[in-house]
Protein backbone atom coordinates (compact mmCIF):
# COMPACT_ATOMS: atom_id res chain seq x y z
CA UNK A 1 0.00 0.00 0.00
CA UNK A 2 1.21 3.50 -0.77
CA UNK A 3 0.52 6.86 0.77
CA UNK A 4 -2.09 7.68 -1.84
CA UNK A 5 -3.96 4.37 -1.51
CA UNK A 6 -3.61 3.33 2.16
CA UNK A 7 -5.34 0.34 3.64
CA UNK A 8 -7.58 2.44 5.85
CA UNK A 9 -9.09 4.44 2.96
CA UNK A 10 -12.33 2.36 2.78
CA UNK A 11 -13.06 3.43 6.38
CA UNK A 12 -13.91 6.89 5.12
CA UNK A 13 -15.92 5.54 2.22
CA UNK A 14 -18.08 3.37 4.42
CA UNK A 15 -18.37 6.16 6.98
CA UNK A 16 -19.89 8.23 4.19
CA UNK A 17 -22.36 5.49 3.35
CA UNK A 18 -23.38 5.12 6.99
CA UNK A 19 -23.59 8.82 7.80
CA UNK A 20 -25.77 9.54 4.78
CA UNK A 21 -28.33 6.98 5.89
CA UNK A 22 -28.08 7.65 9.63
CA UNK A 23 -28.46 11.41 9.67
CA UNK A 24 -31.12 11.66 7.00
CA UNK A 25 -33.12 9.01 8.87
CA UNK A 26 -32.77 11.00 12.09
CA UNK A 27 -34.14 14.02 10.23
CA UNK A 28 -37.00 11.99 8.77
CA UNK A 29 -37.83 10.59 12.21
CA UNK A 30 -37.88 14.06 13.73
CA UNK A 31 -40.19 15.26 10.97
CA UNK A 32 -42.51 12.29 11.18
CA UNK A 33 -42.82 12.37 14.96
CA UNK A 34 -43.33 16.11 15.29
CA UNK A 35 -45.88 16.21 12.47
CA UNK A 36 -47.58 13.13 13.90
CA UNK A 37 -48.29 14.99 17.12
CA UNK A 38 -50.18 17.65 15.17
CA UNK A 39 -52.02 15.04 13.10
CA UNK A 40 -53.16 13.28 16.26
CA UNK A 41 -54.49 16.62 17.46
CA UNK A 42 -56.34 17.19 14.16
CA UNK A 43 -57.71 13.66 14.01
CA UNK A 44 -59.84 14.11 17.11
CA UNK A 45 -61.70 17.07 15.55
CA UNK A 46 -61.86 16.37 11.83
CA UNK A 47 -61.00 12.83 10.75
CA UNK A 48 -61.92 13.53 7.13
CA UNK A 49 -58.86 15.77 6.77
CA UNK A 50 -56.40 13.03 7.61
CA UNK A 51 -55.24 12.33 4.05
CA UNK A 52 -54.29 15.97 3.56
CA UNK A 53 -52.66 16.26 6.95
CA UNK A 54 -50.36 13.30 6.22
CA UNK A 55 -48.46 15.30 3.59
CA UNK A 56 -45.66 16.30 6.06
CA UNK A 57 -45.17 12.64 6.93
CA UNK A 58 -44.82 11.67 3.26
CA UNK A 59 -42.32 14.48 2.75
CA UNK A 60 -40.27 13.25 5.70
CA UNK A 61 -40.22 9.86 4.04
CA UNK A 62 -38.84 11.46 0.89
CA UNK A 63 -35.96 12.88 2.98
CA UNK A 64 -35.11 9.36 4.12
CA UNK A 65 -35.28 8.22 0.48
CA UNK A 66 -32.71 10.88 -0.44
CA UNK A 67 -30.34 9.49 2.19
CA UNK A 68 -30.98 5.95 0.96
CA UNK A 69 -30.25 6.85 -2.66
CA UNK A 70 -26.95 8.52 -1.74
CA UNK A 71 -25.97 5.53 0.42
CA UNK A 72 -26.66 3.11 -2.42
CA UNK A 73 -24.83 5.38 -4.85
CA UNK A 74 -21.69 5.62 -2.72
CA UNK A 75 -21.73 1.93 -1.81
CA UNK A 76 -21.89 1.08 -5.49
CA UNK A 77 -18.54 2.78 -6.01
CA UNK A 78 -16.76 0.72 -3.35
CA UNK A 79 -15.11 -2.45 -4.61
CA UNK A 80 -12.52 -4.50 -2.71
CA UNK A 81 -10.93 -5.84 -5.89
CA UNK A 82 -10.07 -2.39 -7.22
CA UNK A 83 -7.71 0.31 -5.95
CA UNK A 84 -9.31 2.79 -3.59
CA UNK A 85 -7.38 6.07 -3.19
CA UNK A 86 -7.70 8.15 -0.06
CA UNK A 87 -8.96 10.97 -2.29
CA UNK A 88 -12.03 8.91 -3.20
CA UNK A 89 -12.49 7.99 0.47
CA UNK A 90 -12.65 11.62 1.52
CA UNK A 91 -15.00 12.44 -1.35
CA UNK A 92 -17.37 9.68 -0.33
CA UNK A 93 -17.25 10.80 3.31
CA UNK A 94 -18.01 14.38 2.32
CA UNK A 95 -20.85 13.33 0.06
CA UNK A 96 -22.41 11.23 2.80
CA UNK A 97 -22.10 13.97 5.38
CA UNK A 98 -23.51 16.58 2.99
CA UNK A 99 -26.60 14.54 2.27
CA UNK A 100 -26.99 13.40 5.89
CA UNK A 101 -26.82 16.73 7.64
CA UNK A 102 -28.97 18.56 5.09
CA UNK A 103 -31.52 15.77 5.47
CA UNK A 104 -31.39 16.30 9.23
CA UNK A 105 -32.07 20.01 8.78
CA UNK A 106 -34.86 19.44 6.27
CA UNK A 107 -36.58 16.83 8.43
CA UNK A 108 -36.42 19.12 11.46
CA UNK A 109 -38.04 21.95 9.51
CA UNK A 110 -40.71 19.67 8.03
CA UNK A 111 -41.62 18.45 11.50
CA UNK A 112 -42.18 21.86 13.03
CA UNK A 113 -43.94 23.30 9.99
CA UNK A 114 -46.13 20.21 9.64
CA UNK A 115 -47.16 20.28 13.28
CA UNK A 116 -48.16 23.95 13.37
CA UNK A 117 -49.77 24.14 9.95
CA UNK A 118 -51.80 20.97 10.46
CA UNK A 119 -53.19 22.36 13.70
CA UNK A 120 -54.02 25.65 11.98
CA UNK A 121 -55.73 23.79 9.14
CA UNK A 122 -58.57 22.84 11.49
CA UNK A 123 -59.65 26.47 11.73
CA UNK A 124 -58.66 27.91 8.32
CA UNK A 125 -58.63 25.79 5.18
CA UNK A 126 -56.63 28.30 3.15
CA UNK A 127 -53.59 27.44 5.27
CA UNK A 128 -53.26 24.28 3.16
CA UNK A 129 -51.64 25.94 0.14
CA UNK A 130 -49.12 27.84 2.25
CA UNK A 131 -48.38 24.66 4.21
CA UNK A 132 -47.53 22.77 1.01
CA UNK A 133 -45.36 25.68 -0.20
CA UNK A 134 -43.41 25.91 3.04
CA UNK A 135 -42.96 22.13 3.11
CA UNK A 136 -41.62 22.16 -0.45
CA UNK A 137 -39.10 24.85 0.50
CA UNK A 138 -38.05 22.79 3.52
CA UNK A 139 -37.65 19.69 1.40
CA UNK A 140 -35.43 21.27 -1.24
CA UNK A 141 -32.88 21.78 1.53
CA UNK A 142 -32.44 18.02 1.52
CA UNK A 143 -32.42 18.04 -2.27
CA UNK A 144 -29.52 20.53 -2.32
CA UNK A 145 -27.51 18.18 -0.12
CA UNK A 146 -28.24 15.34 -2.49
CA UNK A 147 -27.17 17.40 -5.51
CA UNK A 148 -23.87 18.30 -3.81
CA UNK A 149 -23.37 14.63 -2.92
CA UNK A 150 -23.94 13.64 -6.55
CA UNK A 151 -21.53 16.29 -7.84
CA UNK A 152 -18.86 15.18 -5.38
CA UNK A 153 -19.39 11.54 -6.27
CA UNK A 154 -18.71 12.15 -9.96
CA UNK A 155 -15.16 13.17 -9.07
CA UNK A 156 -14.44 10.05 -7.04
CA UNK A 157 -13.46 7.93 -10.05
CA UNK A 158 -10.83 10.36 -11.33
CA UNK A 159 -8.05 9.60 -8.84
CA UNK A 160 -5.76 6.67 -9.51
CA UNK A 161 -3.24 4.72 -7.47
CA UNK A 162 0.37 5.18 -8.66
Partner 1 sequence: MSEQAKAANITEQAAKGGVLLKLIIFSLSLGIVPISSYFLSEKYVWNGNSNYAAITAVFAANIVLVTYIILSILEDRPPAPAASTDPKKNE
Binding site for partner 1 (CB under 8 A): 46-48, 50-52, 54-55, 58-59, 61-62, 65-66, 68-70, 72-73, 76-77, 132, 143, 146, 150, 153-154
Closest approach, Cβ 64 to partner 1, in A, equals 9
**Cα torsion angle, 75, 77, 83, 87, sign:** negative
Closest approach, Cβ 20 to partner 1, in A, equals 12
Closest approach, Cβ 77 to partner 1, in A, equals 7
> Could you count the other beta carbons within 10 Å of the beta carbon of residue 15?
15
Nearer to partner 1, 52 or 119 (CB): 52
Q: What HEC string does 116-158 produce?
A: HHHHHHCCCCCHHHHHHHHHHHHHHHHHHHHHHHHHHHHCCCC
Nearer to partner 1, 2 or 154 (CB): 154
Amino acid sequence: MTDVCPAYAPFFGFAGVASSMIFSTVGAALGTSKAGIGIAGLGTFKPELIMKSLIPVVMSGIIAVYGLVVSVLIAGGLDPSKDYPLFAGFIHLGAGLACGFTGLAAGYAIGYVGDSCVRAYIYESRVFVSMVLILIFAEVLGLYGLIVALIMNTKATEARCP
